[in-house]
Copies of this chain bind each other. A is one copy, B any other.
Amino acid sequence: MASKEKLPYIILGLLKEAPLSGYDLKIKFEQEIGEFWQAKTSQIYPSLKTLLEDGAVELSQEIVGARKKKIYHITEKGRTALAKWMLSPIEEFPVQKDEFMLRLYFQKKTELTELRSLIMSELVMHQSKLYHLQERQKILFDTPEKIAEDHGHFLILDYAIKREQFKIDWLNTL
């Protein structure tokens, strides 16, 4: 994708809220912001190393429960870099690739049965995803207080849900 080094800023953005370990970050990428960005440990740990060398984060060895963890904290330098990035213009996104739309385009009007099964499987997939997102929303944000408490998280979940609903609605018009 050649996204010109966005990962370090995203890690800083996550660390701004609270100090985290590499593993904690991995979980955040999988769960919290997984709908909009992902990173594996093979990217996270090297990136943390670079951030440490650049002085954007600091490291404290901590014993959590019975386990040892390397907890990374954002530094002033890191905060400055993050703030600067936050204000920089967002580069034109590099196309949201959509294999389903392409197949629809290729199939066109011929072979209606095959098109139908293609559409149905896409529908099922999005409905299942919608369901899981809604369940997460119910569990995480069952009270207005919880929404106010973690408003950013609520927003991305809300958008993810509505995005699924939107695609489902469009598919149903076919």
Contacts and interface: CB of A to CB of B under 8 A. Distances in A.
Stoichiometry, copies per complex: 2
Contacts of A102: 10, 13, 33, 36-37
B36 A101 contact: yes
Chain A, interface residues (CB within 8 Å), range:
35 or more
B103 A93 contact: no
A58 interface: no
Contacts of A174: 155
B152 A3 contact: no
Nearest to A12: B106
B104 A155 contact: yes
6 closest cross-chain pairs (CB), A and B: A13-B106, A105-B152, A108-B152, A36-B98, A36-B101, A166-B166
Given A13-B106, A90-B125, A166-B166, 4 more contacts: A6-B99, A91-B99, A101-B159, A105-B156
